Chains A and B, each alone.
Chain A
Amino acid sequence: MRTAFINQLCTLADTDEHIWLICGDLGYSVLEAFADRFPSRYLNAGVAEQNMTGVAAGLALVGKTVFTYSIANFPIMRCLEQIRNDVCYHNLNVKIVSVGGGLAYGSHGYTHHAVEDLAIMNALPNLIVAAPADPIEARAITTILASHQGPAYLRLGKAGEPVLHAAGTKVELGRAIQVADGSDVTIISIGGMLGTVLKASDELRLQGIHPRILSMPFLTPLDTAAILDAAEETGAILTVEEHGPGGIGTAVAETLAIHGHALAFHPLRLAKSPIKVSGTQEELRSAQGLSVEGIVQAAELLCRRPHSAVIR
């Protein structure tokens, strides 16, 4: 995903001389592509995220479109107030990019687990919050954010994620992508869980359960219409995310409640408690049910139970 991002950013910067890229001393073997081609619009701000974000705001105030780049929580948490006050309040063209969202840096330990980022970013004003599922979404969303007037947060995976969408798949700001249609349950995922969801979908179909699959890369703006259609047309919703409370599960539940839908619903997500053991991304996901089996099991339960029941 990060490769798709940087390649697309280089393509865009070729024709848009306002695009800048600033990193917080991270991006080895990724950002060189941009740094070498556009040295006057590239900057390593050092291990100093507050200043990096303030500098980005200053550049945006003089007409630049600035992408800030770091890994996991680094580009958002230390500098949260700069994002809130300098970037979001002034509605500036600063796009914050985090590589290694979720548990991508699983074995690195809790400091490197970006599992609250969506909730924190989603609380801020004027900010687009996006987490693509595959390189096709990553490329398209990079383009959308570069031309959007205002700030954004882009949560990327790392490298080597498979392409999941067909070439030419339409990605639009604030719109979910329907990957498969079905009538028994809707599975909504944000970010890198889509691959696992699609495998689970295959299993479910073998069992005669036909899920609708929505990839929802935008937490803000949220595709409320797709959620309400899913509620009415499939009667049950399972959300799947590599993130704790406050992400897509929370957003979907709130949407359903506001619109008076009492249906079978379950947010499959990480617990709020920190993960204290080392593990691969796959292992740490699976330990909390973010696996093919976990998704299949949760979907089965939703399809079986009366719509007003509560899963746990």
Chain B
Amino acid sequence: MSPTHRYGSDLGMNTVERLSAFAQTLRAHAVRMVHRSRASHLGSCLSMADILACLYWNTLRIDPEHPNWQDRDRFILSKGHGAAIIYAALAERGFFPVGELKTYCESGSRLTGHITSGVPGVELSSGSLGHGLPVGCGMALGAKRGNLPFRTVVLCSDGELDEGSNWEAILFAPQHELDNLLLIVDFNKIQSFGRVKEVLDLDPLADKFRAFRWAVREVDGHNMQQLADTFAAVPFEQGRPSVVIAHTVKGKGVSFMEDQLAWHYKTPSAEQVEAAMRELGVDL
């Protein structure tokens, strides 16, 4: 693969339909994993399923056979509580056996409830919020000053933008012209104990990023074509970091979980799992 700062736009084999199917599979894994382990954070997993499918099957230059390939794109999941679905993405992408997903949160499993390094394909452990973007800035700066070809992509939540550390990094990235950095905000409008609007309203979020000298695009975070086209257009402006504000729905894909704060915490029952599988059109 040739070193370039442009994102690949050729969907190739992975048509929009196929990418959307991958997203449904990831959702189904997450539902089963969270049910099996009596874990939580399912709503947060489902809202970013389409983004992850697009990244892992279309955008990111990665090689599951060589997870530590030097020139690989770096992807940091800063909302580390979405662990179930990122593990599902990594397994389905071939970083480790899909069968291992059954061990999620089990005693002795490396698949802990918040994303943890040591799992093949994971670049950074997170769980406490507001850590991913500063680390991503460091990676991007290292690449920029070292003339290295890889790109750095950070996915954060909306609630996470309450953290001051993120705003330190949001100041930092344009200062150092990190146009090899992409931040994606999974803007599902619900944080852990209330709606974003009611807790610390982020609006107007795009204007805030623009004022901080980022190049901003807003997309429907469940529209695969839009996601693929937008990620392919990064960097949106030379010399500026890019941010994609992805408008999403918490719990997307399972009607009774959609836009419900409760599904930040709840574990689905066996009946709910079956209902979810029917809606997702996937049987794992």
A43: chain B residues at CB < 8 Å are 141
**What does the 1/0 interface line of A175-206 toward B look like (CB < 8 Å)?**
00000000000000000000000000000000
User: Are A82 and B139 interface neighbours, CB within 8 A?
Assistant: no
Partner of B134, one of A41, A58, A62, A63: A58
Question: Is there a chain A Cβ closer than 8 Å to B168's Cβ?
Answer: yes
Mark each residue of chain A from 53 to 66: 1 if its CB lies under 8 Å from any CB of chain B, else 0: 11111111111100
User: With the chains together, A55 CA to B169 CA distance in Å?
Assistant: 9
A58 lies within 8 A of B140 (CB) = yes
B106 to chain A, nearest CB (A): 21
Q: Which residues of B contact A61 (CB under 8 A)?
A: 74, 123-124, 135, 138-139
B117 lies within 8 A of chain A by Cβ: yes
Interface membership of A86, Cβ < 8 A: yes
Q: A46-B175, A57-B138, A59-B139 are in contact. List 8 more A-B contacts (CB 8 A).
A: A40-B145, A50-B168, A55-B169, A56-B138, A57-B134, A58-B134, A82-B165, A86-B134
User: Given A46-B172, A48-B168, are A59 and B138 also a contact pair (CB < 8 Å)?
Assistant: yes
- Which residue on chain A has the smallest CB distance to residue B127? A85
The size of the chain B interface, using a CB distance under 8 A, is 32
0/1 per residue, B147-167, Cβ < 8 Å to A?
Answer: 010001000000000001100
Q: Are A54 and B133 in contact, CB atoms less than 8 angstroms apart? A: yes
Q: Which residues of A contact B152 (CB under 8 A)?
A: 58
B155: min CB distance to chain A, Å: 15
Q: Spell out B's residues near A (CB within 8 Å).
A: 74, 117, 123-128, 130-131, 133-143, 145-146, 148, 152, 164-165, 168-169, 171-172, 175
Kindly report which residue of chain B lies nearest to residue A55, judged by CB atoms.
Answer: B138
Q: In the bound complex, what is the Cα–Cα distance between A59 and B74 (angstroms)? A: 12
Select the residue from B133, B141, B143 with max chain A CB neighbours within 10 A.
Answer: B141
A90/B125 contact (C-beta < 8 A), A48-B171, A54-B131, A82-B131 known: yes
Which 4 A-B pairs rank lowest in CB-CB distance, beginning with the nearest?
A58-B138, A54-B134, A51-B168, A48-B168
> When the two chains form their complex, are residues B164 and A58 in contact, meaning their CB atoms are under 8 A apart?
no
Please report which residues of chain A, range 5-59, place their CB below 8 angstroms from some CB of chain B when the two chains form the complex. Answer: 40-41, 43, 45-46, 48, 50-51, 53-59
Q: How far is the CB of B264 from chain A (nearest CB, A)?
A: 21
A81 at the interface (CB under 8 A from B): yes
Contacts of A60 in B (CB 8 A): 138
Question: Which among B123, B137, B171 is the interface contact of A54 at CB below 8 angstroms?
Answer: B137
Report Cα–Cα, A62/B76, bound state, in Å: 13
